[in-house]
Amino acid sequence: MQALNEKLKQEFGIDFKDKTLLETAFTHTSYANEHRLLNISHNERLEFLGDAVLQLLISQYLFKKYPKKPEGDLSKMRSMIVREESLAGFSRYCGFDAYIKLGNGEEKSGGRHRDTILGDLFEAFLGALLMDQGVEAVNAFLNKVMIPQVEKGNFERVKDYKTTLQELLQGQGDVSIDYRVSNESGPAHAKVFEVTVFVNDEAKSKGIGKSKKLAEQDAAKNALDALQ
């Protein structure tokens, strides 16, 4: 963690007071499970906290930047910004992927490159930063790392995957699109949902996510990929 701490200081001006929080943020459940005798904490609780503060600060950013946009548009824009793929990209952009502690099995199966793990890592880091230095420090970090990248995108016309799929299929005729939960797994505080998208009652693709909405977006994205 010393190398990570130095990186944070040099690149982002962040110096954690409580190094244990930082280490926990970068510890995946697979690593903690493989070292149970050491009673190591993993990052799921910090991820929960980071998700909440990220939603708040991005909502605040969009509310101020687009004073005339209705709630529905703001929600779609926020969903695109904080979706799993985006957060994984920010983890890579910050170089966080090199520092996460994974179990041997997860490492061998490519977990270090998996969007789910890296997106959760980014949120866990935000949660740790919130606990260590407060919401202003998190906001400053997002303004330095995330917001400039967000503003390079054209978020005036952004659409979510579900809307894009619906518009594409409706352009081909009268169709019905339905999203159904096909599986739920994990503990109550960290559920993973699997959703299947049906077009005219025919299963087209599946998606997974930490909420039903995220799983639906993933299913729609996979359906779009299959159609292209």
132 is catalytic: no
Query: Among 2, 173, 168, 34, which Cα is nearest to 107's?
Result: 34
Residue 167 annotated in ligand binding? no
CA gap 162, 7 in Å, rounded: 38
Active-site residue, from 84, 123, 194, 216:
123
160 is catalytic: no
The answer to whether residues 40 and 27 touch, using CB atoms and an 8 Å cutoff, is: yes
CA gap 193, 204 in Å, rounded: 17
Amino acid at 35: H
Residue 120 annotated in ligand binding? yes
Cα→Cα distances 51→58, 124, 156, 171, Å: 11, 8, 24, 36
Cα→Cα distances 130→23, 25, 57, 70, 107, Å: 14, 12, 12, 29, 28
Residue 84 annotated in ligand binding? no
Active-site residue, from 23, 44, 51, 84:
51
Give the active site residues: 51, 123
Binding-site annotation: residue ranges: 47, 120, 123
Binding-site annotation: residue ranges for Mg(2+): 47, 120, 123
